[in-house]
Structure formats: structure tokens, C-alpha cells
Chain A
Amino acid sequence: MAAFGTAAGRPLQGRGGSPGFHFTLYAALAVVAMYLDQRQHYLERVRYVLQAAAYPIQLAVNSPPAAWAWIRESFESRERLQAENARLRAGQRDLELRSMRYEALAREIGELRGLRAALPPVADRWLAAEIVNIQLSSLRQRLLIDRGAVNGVFKAQAVLDDRGLIGQTTHVGPWSAEVILITDPEHGVPVRIERTGLRTIAVGAGDATSLALPYLPANADIQSGDLLVTSGLGGVFPQGYPVARVTEVHRDAVQPLAQVRAAPLAHIDTDSEVTLVWFRADHPAAPTPTGDSLGELKSGTPSMQPQPAPPRPQSAVPRKQPAESQATEPKAAAPQPATPQPATPQPATPQPDASQSKEHQ
């Protein structure tokens, strides 16, 4: 190696290996890196360091928009600030009135469920994070936030805004974390239709304003305006958080699956701040941990094409869950009936009445 370093004025040909040799070397390195990263998840440490190195660049890239926002904010007129203040105060009074009976209601629910004491809320603590960088292309829907491992952020942590679910963390650096949005084509969130309790999976459509529900049969009881909440399956999100509202249900007579679109409740494309949430692990509504670190669909497809069944990478692991949850929580306080197939997007009972009445019409 020293010989290469000393040959300062060497000609192009004799510079320690042909381009072909160099290329083979680096290509092999890249292939090994990909294999380790993809199959074994060995490179978490390397990613952690690289993410730390990349963070200043991302901050610098974001600085012009951030500076512009700061200037606009500081020169905002007094009237606008006063109006905003009044609006916020009204909103807070509204929320306080609504939550006034919260303690009493929580105790009532606890009594109804036969618990000795009311349960604490499922969210243990939360942390606001600022969005540093945002990618909203049709291929990738990601955020970079300014909180990382030093703040206790972990991989596959739920991220919310004040209206609903936004996504989960994928790569955590020391001072920053990458968030995959629920609208990313690679992301799927297990949801429940609030009106009927029907469970399915909402897959990102690569567009900040829409989700696809590709795994519902054509006779499923779903209609435009239905609220989708997290189902608590998949091990990342606790049950009951609002995700999206169904905007479009299309039933095609020749296709076995309905084509359903939903609009996320979170203002994904206009938010500047998001909230990271830590959940109580022993709470009945908390996400059931799975063996895999990531609860997202590893190979879900965003297309609306009918498919017989989604790939179920975790089906072997969560099958144990009902037994475990029953063992640890004998009161069976889980707000939804435990089913033996947690990740099944197809409903067990397709509501024959509803489908028949539709056929008669």
C-alpha cells in the first residue's frame, strides 16, 4: 500500500489496479452490504453512524425553508396573532369541557369491564418533534425528524399528529430519525372499520392524501365516510387511534375484491411538528409485540389490483399471541374479541344480509 502512496507522478495506467479490478472490489462490497442490510439486519450500527453523519447535511438543506418560515412568523401582524390566540383559547376551553368527565367515564368503563381500578391511558408519554426534511414523491413518503436515540426514540415507534396517525420510525440516528409515512407505498397499517369492527390493512398509495384498502372482499360492509382506526395488531400501533376516513368505495361485479380509497386524517403534507408516543406495555390496548422489529408489511404492493391474499411475513409469530394475552390478562379486557388469526385481512363473516340486500336492489 505504501508503494501506491509514494508514486505521486504516476501515469494513469500504473495506478494500482485497473478500473475493472476496482469496480469488482467495490461492487462486491456493495453486494455484501446489501445482503447484510436486507437479510440479516446486521448493519444497524453502520446505519446509525451514517445517519449521524448525514444529519448536518439534512439540517443545512432544510435551513432556507426554515429561515423563511421563521422570518414570516416573526413579522406576522399583531391582529393575526391575536386572532390565533383567541382561536386557540376557544379550542382549549372546548377540549377541557369535553375531557371534564374523563376521569368518571374511565372509572365507569373499568367497572363495566370488571376491573378493580380504572386503567391509565395507553399513551405513557409523548414528545414533540420538528420535521427537518420531507420526501413526498410517489416512490417514497418519508419524514426526517429532529429527535433520535438520545431522546429515547426507538425503531418502529408510532408517530402521530393532533388528528391521527402519521407513520412509524424506520431508521433511528443519534439526533434524528426517519419516519415512514402511512402513505408510503411500502407501508401497511392494520386497521379496523370503526362502524362495523371489520379488520383489514390500509396500504399507502404513494400520495400524501390517500390510502388504499386492497384486501376487502366486494361484499364487505364498508361505505364512504367510515372511520378507520388502528386495530392494535401488527405490534406497532395501539388499538383505537384514528387513521383515515373512507372516501371512495368501488365494487366491480367481475372482481372479487372491492376497491376502496381512504384519506388520512393527519395533515401529512402541511404538518411542521409531529408527536412521538411511548405506550404502556402492559395496557390491554397497547400493541401486542411481535418477534419482528417492524410491524409494517415487508412486501405489500400498493396496487389496487385484486389479489387473493396478502403476503403474511409474520403469520408464524403472532399466532401465539391470543394464548399469551389470555394468560397474562385473565379478565379478557381487550376491547376487541381475540381471533386466532391476528393478521388476517379477510373478515371471517362477510355479512350475508348486507350483501343480499345489495343484490336485490
Chain B
Amino acid sequence: MNAPGRGRILFTAFVALMLTVLPLPPWLDVLRPAFLVLAVLFWSVNAPRTGGIALGFFAGLMLDVFQGPVLGQHALALALVTYIGVREHQRIRSKPAFQQALIVFAALAVYEFVLFAIDGWSGHPVTSPLRWVHTVTGALIWPPVAAILASGSRGHA
């Protein structure tokens, strides 16, 4: 697969950000996967040179503006997730879709745990178990998301 352009990566990240902040009814909001995390993780695995830790950091900063209690919370969590993605990109890329989804589940759990820890540290503890629901829906939706992102970049190349 050819390396996709910077513009395509930014465009998909932008669309994912829109999906993340789109207002939804509360019950659907709980189920909503972290689209931006999925997109950024996909690019850090499939285009580690263009969409790397820097992309994760700045995407996280945007998330902080929209929904973070402190600036830097999502940025740190996403930088960690993209670091894992970039570091292990060759191993993750060679796995079949089902195992990729499991890895994504673990990455989302790491992501949510960082958010959870920082929430507690900054004095906004939210201990509701509902906050972990999106790790499962995110892993479930990973195969179609990855397929969409991959097909787009193949068409572009």
C-alpha cells in the first residue's frame, strides 16, 4: 500500500472529530465509539511516518478543547496510543482483522485508563462504568472502519 497523503489523513481525522462531537441522545452517546482514536490509531499503524505521535497529540488537543476538563488530557492519552501503534505497526498490520480488533480493544482500554487516571488526579472523578462501554463498541466497529480508511487510501494512491 502506498503511503497516503497528509491531506487525506487530516481529512479523515477531521471527519472523525465531527463524528465524535456530533450531538447524540444520551443512550447513544454512551455507545459511541471514539472515532478519532480509531482513525488516528489506523494511520499510526498504516502510515507511521506521516501520521504518527504528532498527529495523535494534536488530535487529542482538539478533543481536549471540545470535552476535556484539563488541556492535555486527551493529548497525552492519544500520544500514548499512537506510540503503541507506531512501535508495533508491522506486527499489528500483519494480523487478521479479528486479532486487530482485540489489539484495538486493548489500546482503547489503555486510552480510557489514562483519561480515567487524569480525571481522578485533576479532581473530576467519574467512576461510572459507562465510560468503558466505548472500548467494546470501538473494537467491534474497527474492521469496517479500517476497511473504509484502507479503501480510501488505495483509491488515492
Mark the stretch among A45-53, A108-116, A315-323 that contacts chain B. A45-53
B79:A26 contact, CB within 8 angstroms: yes
59-100 of chain B: CB within 8 A of chain A: 60-62, 65-67, 69-73, 75-76, 79-80, 82-83, 86-87
**B67 and A299 within 8 A (CB):** no
**Contact (Cβ within 8 A) B71 A51:** no
Given contacts A137-B30, A299-B123, contact A37 B71 (CB under 8 A): yes
Q: Which residues of A contact B118 (CB under 8 A)?
A: 34
Query: Shortest CB–CB separation between residue B28 and chain A, in angstroms?
Result: 10
Secondary structure type dominating chain A contacts:
helix
CA distance in complex: A123, B10 (Å): 46
Instruction: Please tell me which stretch of A99-107, A128-136, A248-256, A344-352 contacts chain B, meaning at least 4 of its Cβ atoms lie within 8 angstroms of it.
Output: A128-136
Is B33's beta carbon under 8 Å from chain A?
Answer: no
Q: How far is the CB of B147 from chain A (nearest CB, A)?
A: 24
Q: Does A33 contact B (CB under 8 A)?
A: yes
- Measured between beta carbons, the chain B residues less than 8 angstroms from A95 are none
Choose, from A56-64, A145-153, A273-281, A333-341, the stretch at the interface.
Answer: A56-64
Q: With contacts A22-B83, A43-B71 known, is A38 near B54, CB below 8 A? A: no
Q: How far is the CA of A185 from the CA of B46 in the complex (A)?
A: 39
Interface of B is mostly: helix
Tell me which residues across on chain B come within 8 A of A139, comparing CB atoms.
Answer: 126, 128, 130-131
Residues of B within 8 A of A58 (CB): 21, 66
Q: Across the interface, which residues of A come within 8 angstroms of B126, CB to CB?
A: 139, 185
Q: Would you give the shortest CB distance from B75 to chain A, in whole angstroms?
A: 4
How large, as a class, is the contact surface on chain B? 35 or more
Tell me the complex Cα distance, A139–B134, Å: 13
Which one, B18, B26, B69, contacts A138 given CB within 8 A? Answer: B26
How many chain-A residues does the 8 Å CB contact rule pick out?
Answer: 45
Taken together as a complex, chains A and B put the C-alpha atoms of A167 and B16 apart, in Å, by 29
CA gap between A296 and B122 in the complex, in Å: 15
- Whether, in the assembled complex, B38 has its beta carbon less than 8 Å from a beta carbon of chain A, the answer is no
Q: A23-B79, A37-B70, A54-B66 are in contact. Are A30 and B60 (CB under 8 A)?
A: yes
Question: Nearest Cβ in chain B — how far from A131, in angstroms?
Answer: 10
- Chain B residues near A60 (CB, 8 Å)? 18
The verdict on A22 contacting B52 (CB below 8 Å), with A61-B23, A139-B131 known, is yes
Docked Cα-Cα span, A31 to B80, in Å, equals 12
CA distance A22 to B24 in the complex (A): 35
| Known contacts A34-B122, A139-B126, A19 near B23 by CB under 8 Å | no
Question: In the bound complex, what is the Cα–Cα distance between A306 and B144 (angstroms)?
Answer: 47
Tell me if A12 counts as interface (CB < 8 A to partner B). Answer: yes
A56 vs B52: C-alpha distance when bound (angstroms): 26
Q: Within 8 Å CB of A117, what residues of B? A: none
> A51–B67 Cα gap in the complex (Å)?
11
A15 touches B61 (CB 8 A): no
Contact across chains for B67 and A135 when beta carbons are under 8 A apart:
yes
List chain B positions with a Cβ less than 8 A from chain A: 14, 17-18, 21-23, 26, 29-30, 48-49, 52-54, 56-57, 60-62, 65-67, 69-73, 75-76, 79-80, 82-83, 86-87, 118, 122-126, 128, 130-131
Please list 6 pairs of residues, one from A and one from B, whose beta carbons are closer than 8 Å in the complex, sorted by A's number.
A29-B75, A34-B72, A34-B118, A37-B70, A38-B70, A139-B131
Residues in A lying within 8 Å of B, measured CB to CB: 12, 15, 19-20, 22-23, 26-27, 29-34, 36-38, 43, 46-47, 50-51, 53-54, 57-58, 60-62, 65, 133-140, 142, 185-186, 206, 298-299, 301
- Listed from nearest, the 9 A-B pairs whose CB atoms lie closest are A33-B72, A30-B76, A34-B72, A23-B83, A30-B72, A26-B57, A37-B71, A299-B123, A30-B75
